[in-house]
Amino acid sequence: MRAVSITVWLLLALLAGCAAPLPDTNAEDVSFALMGDTPYNDAEVRALDALIDDMNARDLAFVVHVGDITSGRGPCTDAWFKARQRQYQRLRHPFILLPGDNDWVDCHRSGFDPMERLDKMRRLFHSGDESIGQRTIRLERQSSNPLFAEYREHVRWIAADVVFIGLNVQGSNNNLGRTPAMDEEHRWRMVAVLAWLDEGMTLARERRLAGAVIMVQANPNFEARYRRRAGVGDGFEVFREALRAHALRFGRPILFVHGDTHLYEQDRPLNDPSTGKPIENFVRVGVPGSPQVRWLKAGISRERSGVFAITPAAPATAPSY
């Protein structure tokens, strides 16, 4: 959603690395890639091709993009979206894309109807019950429930005794406070988000899974620094409280992955209200984004007490052509 200078990015990435709660990847049961907030322009499209070549050379179970395949000013055109679909199809690994606010919420800035753009994203990237990519994995979709038939982007799968839960939670205050129609969209979508989150975490508890990965586009304002117009509510408050409740009840490791801030970061942003201390089993990882074209290697080991590991990969550089 927002651009960040490379100097600031490097400084905050260094600071995040100094206090990183997760170890580097090493001997993993499963390794996978995390990325987001790219490509925003033609130069990043070329760098993304190099990034895909890099990921194709790695042994990865799948690749997750947490959203924003265009900038906050577009392009939001069919041509751009279809070109990204073709580009990501180059991945030899299963590829799961979540919607980002730039992909639909903010498309009104370039003259598009946000809901029509979300429908286009659903048809291009969320049709069928498998991922895209040259190799695919089967996904559970919330849309299999007639009560939530439109929310095809809400996905779930299990790998290495860990449940992965993908949700449509957006930057731009989660689409709350711009128009009455979008406020209504926000309310109904959050009913679906909370229901899908509850279902996934209930599954994790009942099956006594080793951990959970929750993935969204938005940084849900953990730092309470987003400014809103007078009278506009916090579009993330209910979601943050749901995350807190699930983390405390589950008790085992949760990796929460988001984009939106374009910075690589790791921390424990939720506090236990009974102690005022961070909830130790809930770790947030923010993926880097534009102008960086970069991915994070993540791993799962059931022999590791914290289950998860993260290693940032080097930034991709665009070919010289």
List, as own/partner pairs, every contact residues 52-58 make where C-beta atoms lie below 8 angstroms and the sequence separation is at least 24, other chains included: 52/87, 52/88, 52/90, 52/91, 54/295, 54/313, 54/316, 55/91, 55/93, 55/295, 56/90, 56/91, 56/92, 56/93, 58/31, 58/33, 58/297
Q: CA distances (Å), 232 to each of 100, 186, 220, in order?
A: 21, 13, 15
Question: Has residue 5 got a pLDDT over 50?
Answer: no
pLDDT at 49: 97
Averaged pLDDT of the chain: 91
β-pair type (282-286, 265-267)? antiparallel
pLDDT at 92: 98
Residue pLDDT, tens place only, 35-60: 999 999 999 999 999 999 999 999 99
Residue pLDDT, tens place only, 196-227: 999 999 999 999 999 999 999 999 999 888 78
d(CA 212, CA 311): 18
Give the largest CA-CA distance in the chain.
58
Stretch 60-86: mean pLDDT, rounded?
97
Q: If pLDDT is split at 50, 70 and 90, which confidence band does 159 have?
A: very high
| Rounded (5°) CA angle 92-95-100 | 145
DSSP one-letter string for 266-318: EE---B-TTTSSB-TTEEEEEPP-TT----EEEEE-TTSTT-EEEEEPPPP--
**Any idea which of 72-81, 231-240, 262-271, 304-313 has the lowest mean pLDDT?**
304-313
Question: Has residue 86 got a pLDDT over 50?
Answer: yes
Mapping DSSP to helix (H, G, I), strand (E, B) and coil, where does residue 252 land?
A: coil
Stretch 159-180: mean pLDDT, rounded?
96
The answer to whether the beta carbons of residues 36 and 287 sit under 8 Å apart is yes
pLDDT at 250: 98
